[in-house]
Amino acid sequence: MSVASRTNLSVNGSRFWETIAASAAIGTGPEGGLRRLALDDADREMRDRFIAWCEEADYSVTVDRLGNLFARRPGRDESLPPVLIGSHLDTQAAGGRFDGIVGVLGGLEVLRSLDDLGIETQRPVEVVNWTNEEGARFTPPMLSSAVFAGLRELEWALAREDDAGVTVGAELDRIGYAGPAPVGGRALDSYFEIHIEQGPRLEAEGFQVGLVTGAYVARGMILKIDGENAHSGPTAMHLRQNAIVGAAMAAVAVNDVGWRYSWCDGKSTVARLEAWPNKPGILSDEARLFIDFRSPDAETTAKMEAEIRAALPEAARRSQCRIEVAEDWTFGDLAFDPDLLTLVRETAGRLEVPLLELPSQAGHDAYNLSKLCPTVLIFTPCKGGITHNEKEDTTLEDQLPGLNVLLNAVVERAAV
């Protein structure tokens, strides 16, 4: 195939949209979205469906110890490290039909389009489904790509528990997706991820494709609040050490800091509050508060952190509890690959697709992969920026330009 004839390759939009519809029927939520939590029965059924599609097309499928699925379309030189495309098929408890799914099924559509177009690539091209990206069932999110990228230990990941105390390892065994392949430890040429924006900018500014140039710098913390059990009736106010009240005061302070930085798009989240025993009749003696906060730059995020830490002693004093930062972590301090950024810019230009460059605010598996190999992240629109919600929505028309940029860029990278 000449260079001219591959300047403007297209995926098969209706076929891609059929796979999205088939996915939307597996674990459908009460309001038409998806409830497909990592390693639950719907996730198993979706994995089975994905593998069936891959095998129909003669892509070989590898399952690793964490259930990450790799579908491989061979290259002319099988000794070369593959180009990898991927995202995740799991969802939030009340999630949408596109978050993550566009990336995996879009990757499958790229492979199928290469078949249709009769294109042989020099390098193999693989599509991956990462296990437990959402973190909705097992914390933290982006679990398995972190292990693949060598950022976390396998045994630690297998031992993560859901709210019922069931581990990742046990659920992999139960649904039959504890595969034989090791997790990571092999060379990749590059990693491409395409994902809905999960924000309103593309739609608001009239773009259909975004190129993620970096990420908001995010910090997460688990605050541990220690109080004292006592009867909720007779104990006088000045003797109470109710951990729920300490957590509530810390939560309000964290939220206030987000508001103070909202002028520069800083934001803070109180994501989870747990308390024990958390029962009528008794003051709780322990609570944990999962918080995070982010801003476009590291300096602002550091200021937010300092203000949150400074607010904790006052919350502790007023609630008569002890409050400490039990765990903290950072994500978003990453850079995507300059060559791949250039490739996507040039591909979009060639296809005459307007491209908005923007930072990502949410975490993605691409963050982890960027620590391992050249990585790039492409955004497509979602209506009103609504996501992690059953109402998440988009149109095929809005997804096609991004998929075509992906297809053409992958063809360039994998070398025809």
Which residues between 318 and 347 bind a second copy (CB under 8 A)?
319
For the CB of residue 73, give the shortest distance to a second copy in the complex, in Å. 32
Number of residues that bind a second copy (CB under 8 A): 73
Q: How far apart are CA 260 and CA 321, in angstroms?
A: 26
What lies within 8 Å, CB to CB, of 3 at 6+ separation is none
Q: Which of 362, 290, 297 is nearest to 327 (CA)?
A: 290
Whole-angstrom distance between the N-terminal and C-terminal Cα of the chain?
A: 8
Span near a second copy by CB under 8 A; candidates 1-9, 212-220, 347-355, 400-408? 212-220
Q: How far apart are CA 397 and CA 402, in angstroms?
A: 10
> Coil, strand, or helix at residue 25?
coil
The residues in 129-188 that bind a second copy, with binding defined as CB under 8 A, are 134-136, 139-141
298 binds a second copy, rule: CB under 8 A:
no
Per DSSP, helices labelled H in 3-123 are: 13-24, 41-56, 101-117
Q: Which conformational region is residue 142 in: left (phi greater than 0), alpha (psi within -120 to 50 degrees), or beta?
A: left
282 binds a second copy, rule: CB under 8 A:
yes
28 binds a second copy, rule: CB under 8 A:
no
62 binds a second copy, rule: CB under 8 A:
no
For residue 88, how many C-alpha atoms fall within 13 Å in the half-sphere facing its CB? 28
What lies within 8 Å, CB to CB, of 51 at 6+ separation is 61, 69, 71
The residues in 89-118 that bind a second copy, with binding defined as CB under 8 A, are 92-94
205 binds a second copy, rule: CB under 8 A:
no
For the CB of residue 240, give the shortest distance to a second copy in the complex, in Å. 8
For the CB of residue 173, give the shortest distance to a second copy in the complex, in Å. 23
Span near a second copy by CB under 8 A; candidates 47-55, 153-161, 222-230, 298-306? 222-230
Pick from 155, 187, 206, 238 the residue near a second copy by CB under 8 A: 238
For the CB of residue 355, give the shortest distance to a second copy in the complex, in Å. 19
237 binds a second copy, rule: CB under 8 A:
yes
